[in-house]
Amino acid sequence: MTMEKTLILSSGKCSWGKCYACGWGKLEAPVDTDRLKARVESTSLLGVTKLKVFASGSFLDDKQFPRAFRQWFAGYIGQSRVKELVIESRPEYITQESLSDFKGIRLTVAIGLECADDKVLRAYHKGFTVAQWLKAVKLLRKNKIGVRTYVMVNIPFGNAKALNKTVALAIRESNSVVLINTFPHAKASLFDFWIVGRWKPLDKGQFEAMVSRWAKNKKIEVDYQNYAFVPKIPKERQEFIRGVGLSCLDHSHYNVWQDYFVRFYEKPIDKDIALFLPCSFRKPYAGSRTHVEIYEAIKEAKVFPRLHRIVLSSPGVIPFEFSDYYPFNSYDWPEWLETDKVKRDYIRFVKARVKEYLKTHKYKRYLCYFKYSAETYIALKEACRELKIPLKNLLDEKVYNQIKDEKNPLIQESALINIKKNLNRMS
Ligand code: SF4
């Protein structure tokens, strides 16, 4: 039986670092042979028969992994019970000399071909051609070394025809082929493509539909998502989004996140009651007086652990666990600047985003705590009505009418008693 293990070794930096979707290639670590050896020696290989080394770059690049370390590593693995070693490299480092250090080891070299089309590779900034990949593959075969090829599904600048051509060639030339869904790393240029709406990652259903025709091929492996992906917008592109109107509502950073919440996000499984809440001036919301008071009023309710708090605001739908992420902690919508048109646009955007969210994410119950006059409440109510979802406002209209002229009615004592009572009635 094969027992597989992955060893992540960070050393130096990918010599290329320019691939369009890759952020790992921009990371840099010290090149320290002693540290690398200690990392390897402290990794238990008990029972491991197949070891994969991931290095964000090229294991065969002397600048990233000094040859003396590789030779030591090959000896170390040779003396272990590991039967197969898989390493990664760009084609230019696959030479007779670099391969000679692994004599006696069953070796596989994985190469990120991504797409077998030179035009796409050029636009993608891959930095090598299909012919260069083929030359490396030929050398590996001559040395009886396994070839593993990574192919990117939904690569920017590519298309279905290029994918078909790539997979056919990769199957022909490789021992194994991994079809990888393309996601943009935070520091990658592809992220900008998504932000400006020129490219979108595939969700699970779309990806599976695209790769299903190869699913039965024994050489093929599919990889829908190989890291915990969230659209973390890099610091240098972040801004404070202040103002009212369409330019704020339709902000590209909000759009990318709303796309994520609808197509990729999975709500916590234990939270089966949605509780929609208003935003607050203070960010993150959890530190605001409004949210502290609401939390104090609801935290003892029997159903509290099942409540999924979701804030509705100008960015759209914000599951509470994301409230400290940019842009949800970096915006302000000054209500006093709102005109009638701005209010209408706000209702339209929030309603559309709530609808999209609720079409994907189902709850057993749908609750909210809003002022009856709030545009957000109007948007939520309309979205639920159109989706035929029963919505309950935990602030009774009668109570609201008594306090509506107070400053911040939602944290008036009678309102908080009201939400507490209404929640306590639920089982
Ligand atoms: S994909 Fe590989 S070769 Fe390209 S930048 Fe990233 S680590 Fe380097």
Q: Alpha-carbon distance 205 to 367, whole Å?
A: 30
Share of the chain above pLDDT 70, in %: 100
Distance from residue 221's CA to the centre of ligand 1 (Å): 20
Which residue's CA is minimally distant from atom 4 of ligand 1?
A: 19
pLDDT at 131 over 80: yes
Encoding tokens for residue 292? Answer: 């502290």
Distance from residue 22's CA to the centre of ligand 1 (Å): 6
Which of the listed residues 9, 15, 20, 22 should we mutate to test ligand 1's pocket, taking the one with most ligand atoms within 8 A of CB? 22
Which residue's CA is minimally distant from atom 2 of ligand 1?
A: 57
Contact 223, 178 (CB under 8 A): yes
Residues with CB under 6 A from ligand 1: 14, 16-19, 22, 24-25, 56-57, 90, 112
The arithmetic mean of pLDDT across residues 77-96, rounded, is 97
Which residue's CA is minimally distant from atom 6 of ligand 1?
A: 25
Residues 6+ apart with CB under 8 A from 33: 66, 68, 69, 72
Atom of ligand 1 nearest to the CA of 126: 4
Residues 6+ apart with CB under 8 A from 55: 8, 9, 10, 11, 64, 65, 87, 88
Contact 180, 152 (CB under 8 A): yes
Single-letter code of the amino acid located at 282: R
Neighbour tally for 66: CB within 10 Å: 17
Contact 231, 199 (CB under 8 A): no
Distance from residue 142's CA to the centre of ligand 1 (Å): 25
Single-letter code of the amino acid located at 40: V
Element (H, E) at 176: strand 176-181
pTM for this model (two decimals): 0.86
Contact 87, 53 (CB under 8 A): yes
Distance from residue 23's CA to the centre of ligand 1 (Å): 8
Reported as a single tens digit per residue, the pLDDT across 268-312 is 999 999 999 999 999 999 999 999 999 999 999 999 999 999 999
pLDDT at 169 over 90: yes
Contact 4, 53 (CB under 8 A): no
Reported as a single tens digit per residue, the pLDDT across 3-46 is 999 999 999 999 999 999 998 888 899 999 999 999 999 999 99
Distance from residue 238's CA to the centre of ligand 1 (Å): 25
Reported as a single tens digit per residue, the pLDDT across 409-424 is 999 999 999 999 999 9
DSSP character string of 268-281: -TT--EEEEEE--S
Strand extents, DSSP E, 216-360: 220-223, 241-242, 273-278, 307-313, 316-319, 331-332
How much is the pLDDT for 271? 97
